[in-house]
Every structure is written in structure tokens, then in C-alpha cells.
Structure 1
Amino acid sequence: MVDVPAMEVSGLTVKFPIRGGVLGKVQKYFTAVENVSFSMQAGQILSIVGESGCGKSTLVKSLVGLVPMDSGEFKLFGEKVVKGRTASGKRVSDLVQMIFQDPFSSLNPRQTVSEILTAPLVARGVKVLDAEARARELLERVSLPKEALQKFPHEFSGGQRQRLCIARSLMVKPKILLCDEVTSALDVSVQAQILHLLDDLRGEFGLSILFISHDMQVVRALSDEVLVMYFGHVVERGAADSVLTDPQHEYTKKLLASVPTIRRDR
């Protein structure tokens, strides 16, 4: 029996209207992502790389409904997704969760950690006490004390906030995590801790991870496969070691050549 991919995307296109004139009518459309297709196997870490503005974040946001798709097909574990639900009726948010780049703006400053973490389960009809027990369990798993439940986001460091975001994403027991530059706002030493945590959680919970990053060393260390985007298109895909050591597309070569180095000849 052939394993069904955790995620399949076919011909995904995202366009944004450009308005103008006195009445603000749509004059034309800007295509941010055009005809993108890829699949990701269960338990795999697939990284998307490319320069700023190439459509990486727009792509992943469209998968969770934060940006509307103009066209294309999206499947989760073999089931087509339509209007935020799979063919069997499961909500996309039960299977896929997203972790954003800035952990501070991702957390409601007016809510305690307890309210932030339990909200997804309470909204699904889970009793508050059960939701709090799950929150304490995940706080321990991301190396934060249970006392953190009564604190507010501003009382934590950047790395601790990102751990809170990771814990929140795991509350509903998803199968796929979409990580949008989750380490770029953190110090280098903290980045390593978060990356190790994500890799450990992948093995522990059987997660598939779609990972966006500008850091090629992070991508090389963490990824199974790499997908390279350029102006909304996929230009190259393959095993991480292959793409990052022997790129075939001219853009990928230029992208890797732009990585800072201490070598004087570069």
C-alpha cells in the first residue's frame, strides 16, 4: 500500500487586487503565488526558501485560510479541502496549525497564558479543567514552568514566547505545523533551542513540518527536502543536501552565493 502524503498542493495560485481611481475599483491583479504544486510526506520536514517577497508566507497562509486561494487544489492525507474542511468533515485547523514569525504579536497581550492556551480546546467544547491539564502538560514539554499559566505574554523573553506559541499550536493535537520564519526574531543561541525542540516534537508526535526560513544553515540542518521559490514560482525541489550543495537552477545558485561568509574571496 502506498503511503498517502500528509499534504498535497496542486496548481495553487494567489492573486491580490490592485485598486485605483476615484471609486477605488479593481484595476488589475498582482499574482503573489502562481501554479505552485508540491507534496509532503508524513513525518517529513519540507523547507521553503527564497528571497523576501517571493511568496513563501503567502503560500502557507493560503493553506490555513488566512489568504484566499484564487485557484488550485489542496489535500490533507488524501482528502480534498473545501471551505476549510476535508471531505470527511474535519476542520483544517484540527489538522494544521501555524506558528508565526513574531511571537509577541502572535499572543494576545490582554490574556493570560492559561486563557491563550485553553481557548482552542474550550472553543471545541472541551471542559476548562481538561484544557488546563493539557496546557500544563504542554508547558512542561516546551520547558516552561506551570506557574507560567497565570502570567501575561510581556513577562516572557522572545524565546519563551515562541515556546508558548509552539505549545498553543499543539493544543489541538495537529498533524502538520506550518512554521513561518519562527527563529528569525530570536538570538542565535535561542534559535538552536527552538529548532531542537521542533525536531524533538516532530519525532514525539509524528508531526510533518513545512518550514520557511532565510537561514540556509538552519535549512540544511533541519530539512529533509527543500523547495526553492522565485517570484511566486517553484524553480527547484529536492533533497536538502542535494539542493544546497549541488543546485541545478541558476536562481538557487545565486541565492546560495548570497549567503554571508568569512571567506575573503567571496
Structure 2
Amino acid sequence: MDNPALEVNGLTVKFPIRGGVFGKVQKYFTAVDNVSFTLPQGKILSIVGESGCGKSTLVKSLVGLVPIASGDFKLFGKTVKKNEIPNVMQMIFQDPFSSLNPRQTVVEILTAPLVARGVSFENAKKKAQELLARVSIPEGALDKFPHEFSGGQRQRLCIARSLMVDPKVLLCDEVTSALDVSVQAQILHLLDDLRNDLGLSIVFISHDMQVVRALSDEVLVMYFGHIVERGNADDVLTNPQHEYTQKLLASVPTIRRR
């Protein structure tokens, strides 16, 4: 049997709380507490929970943006060493505008990851053109700046940038929350197509339960840094077992509920 695409074991993230005259560390706030889960190859695992539950901190720790206090994780059966940022896993952020350098053109943004790894600029540019076509960005976009695109197009650029190094795992942190509803659907269809065409495995963070229901294979529910429920998407969202999951779903507005 194939190894899971991602296997997280007892991962904990803590932030220091400083105080006093000299700003010494008084105590630590535990944002993610002993979290373990697996992401099967080719599947989409959604992480849901209220703001501040630790879901974004969890995925940021996997790409080295937040230090891990304890625990570890594996990619395709291989343990990732501390401070190692593997190419096989890439992250797409919530706000596409702030995650793109406003002073760089599209060609500079997309080619930078490959040029930094010793690939010639011409080869990197050729691959950038291929990926722009795959994410449905019009021709002639290479010499434009991020502010010249719509929000949905900027998110497509972020997706193209993440694919430049041929990842196998994508971490998507609220990638549709800053977009219009019609554009959200386009981005979700794009991610699903990429998953099928490239064999990607995706960790998807969202507050939108309808999006989670439509896109996910499995759902993981977080509450104050802990996993409180996990299972098949249909099972968790139609028949939640944990009280917090029940309240989370009950908070979703409908035309039938006041």
C-alpha cells in the first residue's frame, strides 16, 4: 500500500507570551496541541473550525513559517527534518494580492523559484507560460504587474506559482474567502481539475461548509488547537458526533433558519 502523502504526528505549536520590564517570556500559548492526521494520496482533506482554532497555524508550521515546538511530519513516508522546506509541498495563501510582490512582473514572480534552483531563465519562462495557460490566464500576462489583474486572476497566479516546482501536496489556506461567489466556483473547479490531472493531494482550509461538502473527501474539525472530530465528509457534515461540530454546523445560515 502506498504511503500517505502527508502524515502529521503529535505536532504542537507554541507562541511565547512576554511581559515585565525586560520583556522576558512569562509563559507560552499553545495554538496547536498534539495534532495528528494523515492525508491519503490524491485526496482532499478539509480542516474546519472557527477563527483562532489553530488551523492556519497548523499548515503554516508545515512549510516553516511557524516554528514547531514538538512532533514531526512525513511526506510520502519520509520524515521531514527540522527547518527543511521540501519542494514537494507548497502553500497557497488567503489574500492573493498581499502574497504577490507588487514590484515584480508576473514573469519575475513565476520564474524566481526555478531560477533560484539553477534553472535557466528561458526554461523557467517556458514553464511559466505553460502554467499560465493551464490556469486560464490570458496570453501577454507575463509582463504585467499583480495590480493589473482581478482578484480571481491573482489567485490563479498564486496557484501557478505554487505549481512551478512540481509539488505533490498543496496547502490551501482560505483560498476562496477573498473572492466573489462566482469566482470561488471557478477556483474550486480549477483545484479539483489540477488534483485529478497532476495527482495532487490537498489540505483545504475553509469556513464555508458548502464548499467543504462539495470538494472534500475527508473533514477534520479543530477546536482550540485540538482535533475534536474527523471522518468522511458526508458523515461529518450530515451526522456530526461531537457537540462542537454540531454547533458549528448549526451556525451556518439557511433560508429556513432564523
TM-score range, shorter chain: over 0.9
Q: 2:105 aligns with which of 77, 101, 112?
A: 112
Task: Determine if the alignment matches structure 1 residue 139 to structure 2 residue 149.
Answer: no
After alignment, is 29-38 or 141-150 more displaced?
141-150
Cα deviations across residues 13-60 of structure 1 (Å, max 9, x unaligned)?
Answer: 000000001100000000000000000011010000000000000000
Q: Which residue of 1 aligns with 2:53?
A: 54
CA distance in 2, matches of 1:35, 1:18: 20
Task: Determine if the alignment matches structure 1 residue 236 to structure 2 residue 191.
Answer: no
After alignment, is 75-84 or 65-74 more displaced?
75-84
1:210 aligned partner, one-letter code: V
2:43 aligned partner, one-letter code: Q
Report deviation, 1:222: 0.2
Question: Normalising to structure 2: TM-score of the pair?
Answer: 0.99
Q: Which residue of 2 aligns with 1:227?
A: 220
Report deviation, 1:173: 0.3
Task: Write the mapping of 1:59-78 to structure 2, written as runs, cut at 5 A.
Answer: 59-78=58-77
Q: Which residue of 1 aligns with 2:157?
A: 164
Report deviation, 1:84: 3.8
Cα deviations across residues 217-245 of structure 1 (Å, max 9, x unaligned)?
Answer: 00000000000000000000000000000
Report deviation, 1:83: 2.4
Report deviation, 1:73: 1.4
Runs of 4+ with deviation above 4 angstroms: none
Q: Which residue of 1 aligns with 2:29?
A: 30
Report deviation, 1:145: 1.7
SS of residue matched to 1:150: coil
Q: Which residue of 1 aligns with 2:194?
A: 201
CA distance in 1, matches of 2:163, 2:72: 26
Structure 2 gaps, min length 5:
none
Task: Determine if the alignment matches structure 1 residue 44 to structure 2 residue 37.
Answer: no
Task: Write the mapping of 1:83-94 to structure 2, written as runs, cut at 5 A.
Answer: 83-85=82-84, 91-92=85-86, 94=87
Structure 1 gaps, min length 5:
86-90
Q: Which residue of 1 aligns with 2:171?
A: 178
CA distance in 2, matches of 1:96, 1:120: 13
SS of residue matched to 2:122: helix
Task: Write the mapping of 1:243-254 to structure 2, written as runs, cut at 5 A.
Answer: 243-254=236-247
Cα deviations across residues 193-219 of structure 1 (Å, max 9, x unaligned)?
Answer: 000000000001000000000000000
Q: 1:210 aligns with which of 198, 203, 212?
A: 203
Identity %: 81
Cα deviations across residues 159-210 of structure 1 (Å, max 9, x unaligned)?
Answer: 0000000000000000000000000000000000000000000001000000
Report deviation, 1:146: 2.7
Question: Normalising to structure 1: TM-score of the pair?
Answer: 0.96
Cα deviations across residues 95-152 of structure 1 (Å, max 9, x unaligned)?
Answer: 0000000000000000000000000000000000000000000000000123000000
SS of residue matched to 1:149: coil
CA distance in 2, matches of 1:216, 1:68: 29
| Count of paired positions | 258
CA distance in 2, matches of 1:84, 1:145: 37
CA distance in 2, matches of 1:106, 1:42: 27
2:33 aligned partner, one-letter code: E
CA distance in 2, matches of 1:131, 1:83: 29
